A = this chain, B = another copy of it.
Amino acid sequence: MSLLVVGSVALDNVETPFDKIENALGGSSTYISLSASYFTAPIWLVGVVGSDFPKEHIELLQQHGIDIEGLEIIEGGKTFRWGGKYHYDLNVRDTLFTELGVFENFDPKIPEGKRNPDFLVLGNIDPALQIKVLEQIESTKFVVCDTMNLWIENKLDELKEVMKRVDVLIINDSEARLLTNEPNLIKSARMIRDMGPKYLIIKKGEHGALLFSEDKIFSAPAYPLESIFDPTGAGDTFAGGFAGYLDSTGDLSFENIKRAVIYGSTMASFCVEKFSVQRLTELTKLDIRERFMEFLELSRFDEK
């Protein structure tokens, strides 16, 4: 089952209370693809980098079976760079710099032969670009879309257009409240689903995630992590694990979408254990399965 991923590819400088790293592989499509690569193939990545993009990052993606035909390399251009600093409680981060480079004029082009993916994941980019992607797609079974406060605040019309055309929208709790101006998350979720997406996932960080369909709600626990090394990319990693698992099973029942939320949470819980994508490059299927079972144990109770 093919999975097409469109998003940013970046070089990140990240500083946490514990350590710092420079020129680390980052970007939404990177995290999504690496996370999904543990579940499904082929994965088709679409993005843009400059000629400064390190060869070893390309090789890493390829080692994970990610098809980078759609990764445009602009000769003489500079790769998107982001610098961020996390504070003690890791919920607050400061963006130190954003150098868009070639990403400023990103015009996603889906290669021929890749316009009929089984699954499409629209990473967190300008919704105007997400629309451009959707317009190139000839057919697909399921569209997963991520977004953020920046687009809710600045590109709401375009985002609303995207929302009408996706199966699952993934946002966090503060973004849901921002999008609807409604503090109650359950009400907010209903309002967002009324804007288009068949399913809505609201991520709540240390409090887990909520999945909403027309008539059902699923509450997923958070993995009890005693220390978070680097939260960068956790949301993208969630989306990648979610879409990768669903794509690999081809089962779009609510029961299976619940499992996909847990696999997304599983991958995100690994992601934050080390800097950058590092933890996502060294996992085994057994690691993932074991943690999935820990999630099961964490929230399971029986009637008596």
Given contacts A89-B183, A186-B226, A256-B304, is CB(A208)–CB(B218) below 8 Å?
no
**Neighbouring B residues of A94 by C-beta, 8 Å:** none
Binary contact readout A201-223 vs B (1 if CB under 8 angstroms, 0 otherwise): 00010111010000001111110
- Chain A binding site: helix, strand, loop or mixed by DSSP? mixed
Q: Which of A59-67, A97-105, A143-151, A293-301 interfaces with chain B?
A: A293-301
Bound complex: CA A219 to CA B187 (Å): 23
Contact of A301 among B88, B183, B255 (CB under 8 A): B255
In the assembled complex, A224 has its CB within 8 A of some CB on chain B: yes
Given contacts A226-B186, A249-B304, is CB(A218)–CB(B299) below 8 Å?
yes
Bound complex: CA A288 to CA B1 (Å): 45
Whether A183 pairs with B303 at a CB distance below 8 angstroms is: no
Residue of B nearest to A297 (CB): B216
Chain A residue total in the interface (Cβ 8 A)? 40
**Neighbouring B residues of A249 by C-beta, 8 Å:** 304
Whether A222 pairs with B225 at a CB distance below 8 angstroms is: no
Bound complex: CA A255 to CA B302 (Å): 8
Whether B258 pairs with A301 at a CB distance below 8 angstroms is: yes
Apart from A207-B207, A208-B208, what 17 extra A-B contacts exist at CB < 8 Å?
A: A88-B183, A184-B226, A184-B228, A185-B206, A186-B224, A187-B227, A190-B226, A204-B207, A210-B224, A217-B224, A218-B298, A218-B299, A219-B221, A255-B302, A293-B303, A296-B302, A299-B301
